Chain A
Amino acid sequence: MKMERPQARSLPKAPTGIQGLDDITEGGLPRGRPTLICGGPGCGKTLLAAEFLIRGATQFDEPGVLITFEETGEELAQNVRSLGFDLDALVQQNKIAIDFIRVERSEIAETGEYDLEGLFLRLGLAIDSVGAKRVVLDTIESLFGGFDNQAVLRSELRRLFRYLKDRGVTAVITGERGERTFTRQGLEEYVSDCVILLDHRVNEQVSTRRMRIVKYRGTTHGTNEYPFLIDENGFSVLPLSGLQLDHEVSNERVSSGIPGLDAMLDGKGYYRGSSVLVSGTAGTGKTSLAAHFAQESARRGERCLYLAFEESPQQLMRNMRTIGVDLAPHVKKGTLRLHSARPSLHGLEMHLVQIHKMVSEFKPAAVVIDPISNFIDNSTAIEAQAMLLRLVDFLKAKQITAVFTHLTSGGHALEATDIGISSLIDTWLLLRDIELGTARSKGLYVLKSRGMPHSREIREFVVTPRGIELKQVTGKAGKGKRKK
């Protein structure tokens, strides 16, 4: 729970400008102090540090210095270019200064007393040259490979961190994760203000990046592990558990796109901002039902994001055309966005981060996820439930109406969703095979729908070339009277 506290008590912070990171740190990194970012190889330390610097220079008018010990300036510029940052331009505009410090043991013989004054002079020069407010040292531990005298190195490191504080710069120091310590050389001894740990885990061949704030002296911060994503726009961190059940509630109703279904839901359809689950066995028409909703949203001129995890956009559009749902014009107009991805492409949380990002960019009024069951198959029940909870919360907080489809396997009782998400769902529609006299047909019923009087009948669910129609099932005759 976030409490209202007097502002004076909290530490001054330097915003990173990185989506999500400023949320979990409640404002950014400690201003004028060093922060340690550590993690194993390839976890994104350097990129995070570089993005902190670049966003500082571009968004917060805080020039920066990058001291790199491992990559040359050109290599680094190339690496961050793939994230959409032009480091060279910033260097030319005098907003960022880069110094590549190369230490190679083979070149250096040690003969008595020395210190690292050269490093301090270079750092000082770079800071002065751009008037830097931010400094990144990546990866300072390389010095340990270049020099033998540990005692000198350690005392110089201590001096370095004091120097950074004296200069009043917000510094980020990266360090490689050690076996028992956060960094190989125990840098956490020197940096006592803020330590962020990055992690890159592979679970059943699917990788997930996670971030955790191990320590942040003098301030509250999120303590969970937060998944993050590195893509063409840089870092995004998802502050997952920050949301509470206090989002606004709308009384407005939105049509499901099927008149017969709206009729079952008190004649008006779903609540805006509610979560709808459509579950059923294979081939019962879940996608068709969701597509009706997407089309109806787009028709009203409200943006809809349709995430298809089983079909490509082309295939989905073709198939839906055969039942009279033409999505293509809406896609062309930009009111409907179809996005396909294989569920196994990323870990669960990566998908969540990605959905988060897409929603933030596209700002839809409605989201369809078809189906969510594929995620669930790829992960443990606890993970899946946690993810869906976060997703539902996130969409609700944004007042987005969400339709999830869920494939249930034939053997189970339909009502028993193995993921225990029913408590998160406001309106739950069940599609199932029913026997009407001697024929098998599809039936739909509303298992629950919070906050409205809804039909308790089973309706026959008929997919026609003009769309879905719901028919009343009357007695044993099996002949339905058409609704509307």
Chain B
Amino acid sequence: MNPANGTAGEKWNLRLYTAGQSPKSLAALDNLKRMCEQHLPGRYTIEVVDLLKNPRLAKDDQIVAIPTLVRKLPEPLRRIVGDLSDTERALVGMQLRQQK
């Protein structure tokens, strides 16, 4: 593995927007946890925002598609749409891996 971005001590701050317990949302959370454990062990936090409970945040954070993963830290901010089942694209999107 070759982290393209971030040095060893860097904190990753991730936020996953979901809508209740939909299969896509659950899959996204599972996939995200798996990737983080593999690539960012011990230095990531995942915040899950359920827009069904808090629809106002969809507007505030410009969310259209669900699930959407937002990488808040490290900067710059990145958005990744989908259930993260395409691990390759997810890693590239998060900039955990350089595009081949």
Contact residues of A with B, CB < 8 Å?
Answer: 99, 101-103, 107-119, 121-122, 124-125, 143, 146-147
Contacts and interface: CB of A to CB of B under 8 A. Distances in A.
Interface of B: 17, 19, 22, 24, 27-28, 31, 51-52, 55-56, 58-59, 62-68, 77-87, 89-90, 92-93
Contacts of B17: 118
Nearest to B93: A109
Where chain B touches its partner, the secondary structure class is mixed
B51 A118 contact: yes
Given A117-B51, A125-B55, A125-B56, A109 B64 contact: no
Given A111-B93, A118-B68, A125-B56, 8 more contacts: A101-B64, A109-B79, A111-B82, A111-B85, A112-B28, A114-B82, A115-B24, A125-B59
A424 to B, nearest CB: 57
A93 B44 CA distance: 44
Sort A-B residue pairs by CB-CB distance and give the 3 closest, nearest first.
A109-B93, A112-B85, A112-B82
A117 B90 contact: no
B95 to A, nearest CB: 10
Contact of B59 (A103, A112, A114, A122): A122
Given A111-B85, A112-B85, A125 B67 contact: no
10 contacts: A103-B64, A107-B77, A108-B65, A109-B92, A110-B82, A111-B82, A112-B28, A112-B82, A117-B51, A118-B19
Given A115-B65, A117-B19, A147-B65, A109 B80 contact: yes
B93 A118 contact: no
Nearest to A109: B93
B82 A116 contact: no
Contacts of A102: 62
A112 B56 contact: no
Given A117-B19, A118-B63, A118-B64, A111 B58 contact: no
Given A109-B92, A114-B65, A114-B81, A121 B86 contact: no
Contact of A113 (B63, B77, B83): B83
A121 B19 contact: yes
Given A112-B83, A113-B27, A114-B24, A146 B64 contact: yes
B58 A121 contact: yes
B86 A111 contact: yes
Given A108-B81, A109-B89, A114 B55 contact: no
Where chain A touches its partner, the secondary structure class is mixed
A111 B89 CA distance: 6
A115 B93 CA distance: 18
Contacts of B19: 117-118, 121
Contact of A111 (B22, B56, B63, B90): B90
Contacts of A119: 64-65
Best-buried of B17, B56, B82, B84 by chain A (most CB within 10 Å): B82
A116 B62 contact: no
A118 B79 contact: no
Given A101-B62, A118-B58, A125-B58, A111 B81 contact: yes
A42 to B, nearest CB: 26
B49 to A, nearest CB: 11
A122 B52 CA distance: 10
